[in-house]
């Protein structure tokens, strides 16, 4: 494996922080062949591609790239001679709008890349939703896709050697937006969109049709989701909070429609996912989170022993199995240690040997990174707000931080959350000498139903107050210089940054919005009726809440923003239309504001296309230097 690392290295150029933190990770994914003898590694170098290595010799035995307008989003081995990979297009407007994607296949040693689209691929949307790889069937995979929005999704068995053969397993059904299958490929659940826009689950009863399971809950607001299935067709593993505030794990009896044994519950964290035994699908572990994702093992299993050994070997806080061969002799893991980028390793159980794969951020291997401190502060109404403070390198404890320049960095979503693990953006900002405050304000996911619902219809209001209270907490504790604080963010975080500057003109020196929402009324007007219904409880009603939406839209508050503004917008953002940034730029110009606008060519919402992250970081670096005047010359 050392030679694999060497093969992917390059001539050492002078260190550039914007490149080191802003490059798309050198390795974009990996997969182990079924026989455990080869590893496929995704990469990005002006175009997305895949290289296949022989694990014993470390030699490249095949490699290929896709067209420049395509991104490889995932890939897996179907057989030892065949890789299947998913691509998404950023080229055409319709692809950007509808998220067109599809599956391709490549036989090792052959030049041809096989298209697995069904017929006219222009009529197929999101064809890379794989329900089951079907490990016992070497010639087929099970896929869900849609060819007509009016008809809904269907399930198809695709012949990977004869891609023109798409056998219909379940015909498209109106309002069905998803299916789930077990490890053997049996479709055992489906998701419907109801008239009010809410989602409902139906599960397959053993030999007796379908049962609607979400309607049987006493409270329609109760969370219910399916996490997996054991081989026993009578049961499903579901997450629900009908008895608890945070989401707990249950064994659900599909036949009777009743909850069985509660298998896992954490009073401070929602259930994130489950770990199932590969032989029979029985759940053996539950994933939850504090400052980072954890696994609670439900019984003494081989997986736990292997994880413990990896943690001890690498001094890691968390490990996660990403792939394993069918004979369970070789597995790949992600290993997290502190706030450094995760490391990827292959564990050969028979040889009792670890292989470390190339670093995701090779230029940072020998660089001192920032310490991330987990903490909490009180919101003005007494609510505890979990937060993370990233300190400049060399400062290791929060009580060592005194009078630092700070960047307040609320997360996107807003129903998402931050963790203490490596994050390229706050790490870059801290590397340049600034402290960074991230908070999981009310409305953030993972802390239970009550905490998340406190953010409903609170855009620019209570959620914004939580961010303001965090900034004032920094000042009150003496961590931040009150005259040297900026605010910024991506997506919803960009919206919150603009609203922060509008509502607190004396608190922040400048603000940055990256792919941020700027006008709530226009956002809902541009959304589909289904999306408007789905976001009604979170954002508000387009007509009934029009005044609230306007009052909490940065475009309508442009005259209140008296500090410099940096707007960064991706050209092909599918989540936040480019028009949102243009509306804000025009409003600020009309109000006589100080605005810098940067548009990222062909960029997407998460800045994973080309060198867009690097371009953004260069603009941000110059902007913060001018704003806070504390440039670190490293």
pLDDT at position 26 is 75
Q: How confident is the model at residue 273 (pLDDT cuts 50, 70, 90)?
A: very high
The share of the chain scoring above pLDDT 90, in percent, equals 51
Please give the mean pLDDT across all residues of the chain. Answer: 87
Which residues have CB under 8 Å from 473's CB, separation 6+?
A: 377, 378
Q: How confident is the model at residue 124 (pLDDT cuts 50, 70, 90)?
A: low
Look at residues 455, 480, 456, 481 and name the one whose alpha carbon lies nearest to residue 385: 455
Look at residues 234, 191, 187, 184 and name the one whose alpha carbon lies nearest to residue 212: 191
- Given strand 82-89, what is the order of strands in its sheet? 70-79, 82-89, 101-107, 113-115
pLDDT at position 121 is 47
The span from the CA of 568 to the CA of 513, in Å, is 6
Note whether 391 and 399 are within 8 A (CB): no
Q: How confident is the model at residue 90 (pLDDT cuts 50, 70, 90)?
A: low
Strand partners, 480: 404
378: left (phi over 0), alpha (psi -120 to 50) or beta: beta
Residue in the block written with tokens 């099970």: 142
Q: CA 605, 606, 609 angle in degrees (round to 5)?
A: 95
pLDDT at position 14 is 75
Strand partners, 389: 373, 437
The span from the CA of 151 to the CA of 144, in Å, is 13
pLDDT at position 434 is 97
The mean per-residue pLDDT over the stretch 316-325 comes to 83
pLDDT at position 567 is 97
The overall longest dimension of the chain from CA atoms, in Å, is 70
Sign, Cα dihedral of 90, 95, 100, 104: negative
pLDDT at position 585 is 97
CA 182 to chain centre: 23
For residue 2, pLDDT beyond 80: no
For residue 324, pLDDT beyond 80: yes
Lookup: tokens for 629: 């005047």
- Given strand 480-490, what is the order of strands in its sheet? 371-378, 384-391, 435-439, 404-408, 480-490, 511-514, 565-570, 595-600
141-180 residue pLDDT tens: 999 888 776 777 889 999 998 888 888 999 988 888 889 9
The span from the CA of 259 to the CA of 273, in Å, is 18
For residue 632, pLDDT beyond 50: no
27-61 residue pLDDT tens: 888 899 998 889 998 888 778 899 999 888 888 99
pLDDT at position 11 is 40
For residue 97, pLDDT beyond 60: no
Alpha carbon dihedral 245, 466, 433, 390, in 10-degree steps, equals: -10
427-442 residue pLDDT tens: 999 999 999 999 999 9
Q: Picking from 189-203, 477-491, 572-586, which range would have the lowest pLDDT averaged per residue?
A: 189-203
Q: How confident is the model at residue 354 (pLDDT cuts 50, 70, 90)?
A: confident
373-423 residue pLDDT tens: 999 999 999 999 999 999 999 999 999 999 999 999 999 989 899 898 899
pLDDT at position 100 is 59
Higher pLDDT, residue 14 or 131: 131
Helices (H), 432-570: 449-453, 462-476, 492-503, 520-526, 529-534, 546-551
Strand partners, 32: 39
3-state helix, strand, coil in the chain (%, to 5): 20, 35, 45
For residue 123, pLDDT beyond 60: no
For residue 267, pLDDT beyond 90: yes
For residue 96, pLDDT beyond 70: no
Alpha carbon dihedral 613, 45, 605, 357, in 10-degree steps, equals: -90
For residue 560, pLDDT beyond 80: yes
Phi then psi dihedrals of residue 486, to 5 deg: -115, 165
The span from the CA of 38 to the CA of 325, in Å, is 11
pLDDT at position 63 is 92
The span from the CA of 188 to the CA of 601, in Å, is 42
pLDDT at position 463 is 96
Q: Picking from 104-108, 127-131, 182-186, which range would have the lowest pLDDT averaged per residue?
A: 127-131
Burial of 188 (0-12, 13-18, 19+ CB in 10 A): buried
Q: How confident is the model at residue 196 (pLDDT cuts 50, 70, 90)?
A: low
274-310 residue pLDDT tens: 988 888 889 999 999 998 888 899 887 777 888 888 8
Q: Picking from 108-112, 164-168, 207-211, 212-216, which range would have the lowest pLDDT averaged per residue?
A: 212-216
For residue 3, pLDDT beyond 90: no
The mean per-residue pLDDT over the stretch 457-481 comes to 96
Q: What distances in angstroms separate CA 83 from CA 31, 104, 333, 371, 434, one per listed residue?
A: 9, 8, 20, 39, 44
> For every residue of 287-303, which 3-state class applies, written as one string?
EEECCCEEEEECCCCHH
The span from the CA of 70 to the CA of 100, in Å, is 11
pTM: 0.88
């Amino acid at each position: 494996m050392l030679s694999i690392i060497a093969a992917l290295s390059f001539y050492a150029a002078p260190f550039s922080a914007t490149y080191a933190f802003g490059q798309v990770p050198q390795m974009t994914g990996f997969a182990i062949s079924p026989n455990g003898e080869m590893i496929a590694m995704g990469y990005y170098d002006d175009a997305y591609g895949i290289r296949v290595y022989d694990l014993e010799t470390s030699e490249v035995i095949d490699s290929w790239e896709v067209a420049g307008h395509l991104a490889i989003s995932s890939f897996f081995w179907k057989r030892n001679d065949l890789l299947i990979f998913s691509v998404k297009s950023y080229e055409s407007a319709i692809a950007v709008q509808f998220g067109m994607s599809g599956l391709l296949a490549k036989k090792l040693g052959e030049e041809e890349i096989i298209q697995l689209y069904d017929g006219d691929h222009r009529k197929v949307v999101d064809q890379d939703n794989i329900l089951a790889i079907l490990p016992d069937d070497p010639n087929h995979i099970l896929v869900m896709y849609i060819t007509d929005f009016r008809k809904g999704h269907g399930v198809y068995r695709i012949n990977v050697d004869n891609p023109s053969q798409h056998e219909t397993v379940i015909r498209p059904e109106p309002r069905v937006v998803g299916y789930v299958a077990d490890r053997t490929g049996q479709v055992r659940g489906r998701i419907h969109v109801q008239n009010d826009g809410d989602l409902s689950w139906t599960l397959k009863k053993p030999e007796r049709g379908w049962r609607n399971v979400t309607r049987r809950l006493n409270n329609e607001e109760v969370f219910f989701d399916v996490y997996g299935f054991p081989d026993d067709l009578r049961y499903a593993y579901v997450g629900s909070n009908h008895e608890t505030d945070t989401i707990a794990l249950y064994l659900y009896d599909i036949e009777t429609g009743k909850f069985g044994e509660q298998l896992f519950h954490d009073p401070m964290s929602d259930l994130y996912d489950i770990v199932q035994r590969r032989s029979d699908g029985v759940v053996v572990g539950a994933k939850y989170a504090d400052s980072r994702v954890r696994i609670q093992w439900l019984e003494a299993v081989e997986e736990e022993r292997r994880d413990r050994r990896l943690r001890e070997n690498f001094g890691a806080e968390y490990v996660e199995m990403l792939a394993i061969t069918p004979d369970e002799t070789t597995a790949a893991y992600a290993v997290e240690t502190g706030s450094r980028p995760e490391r990827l390793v292959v564990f050969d159980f028979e040889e009792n040997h670890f292989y470390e794969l190339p670093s995701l951020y090779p230029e940072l291997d020998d660089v001192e990174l920032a310490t991330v401190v987990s903490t909490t502060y009180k919101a003005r109404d007494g609510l505890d707000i979990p937060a993370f403070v990233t300190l400049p390198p060399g400062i290791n404890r929060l009580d060592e931080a005194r009078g630092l320049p700070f960047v307040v960095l609320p997360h996107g979503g807003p129903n998402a959350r931050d963790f203490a693990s490596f994050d390229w953006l706050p790490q870059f900002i801290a590397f340049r000498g600034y402290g960074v405050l991230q908070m999981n304000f009310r409305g953030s996911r993972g802390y239970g139903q009550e905490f998340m619902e406190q953010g409903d219809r609170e855009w620019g209001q209570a959620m914004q107050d939580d961010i303001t209270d965090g900034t004032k907490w920094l000042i009150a504790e003496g961590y931040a210089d009150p005259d040297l604080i900026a605010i910024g963010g991506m997506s919803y975080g960009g919206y919150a940054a603009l609203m922060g500057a509008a509502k607190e003109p004396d608190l922040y020196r400048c603000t940055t919005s990256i792919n941020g929402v700027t006008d709530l009324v226009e956002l809902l007007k541009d959304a589909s009726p289904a999306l408007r219904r789905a976001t009604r409880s979170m954002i508000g009603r387009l007509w009934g809440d029009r005044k609230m939406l306007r009052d909490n839209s940065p475009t309508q508050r442009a005259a209140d923003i008296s500090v410099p503004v940096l707007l960064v917008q991706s050209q092909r953002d599918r989540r936040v239309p480019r028009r949102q940034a243009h509306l804000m730029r025009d409003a600020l110009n009309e109000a006589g504001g100080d605005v810098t606008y940067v548009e990222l060519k062909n960029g997407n919402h998460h800045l994973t296309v080309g060198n867009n992250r690097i371009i953004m970081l260069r603009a941000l670096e110059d902007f913060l230097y001018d704003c806070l005047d504390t440039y670190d010359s490293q």
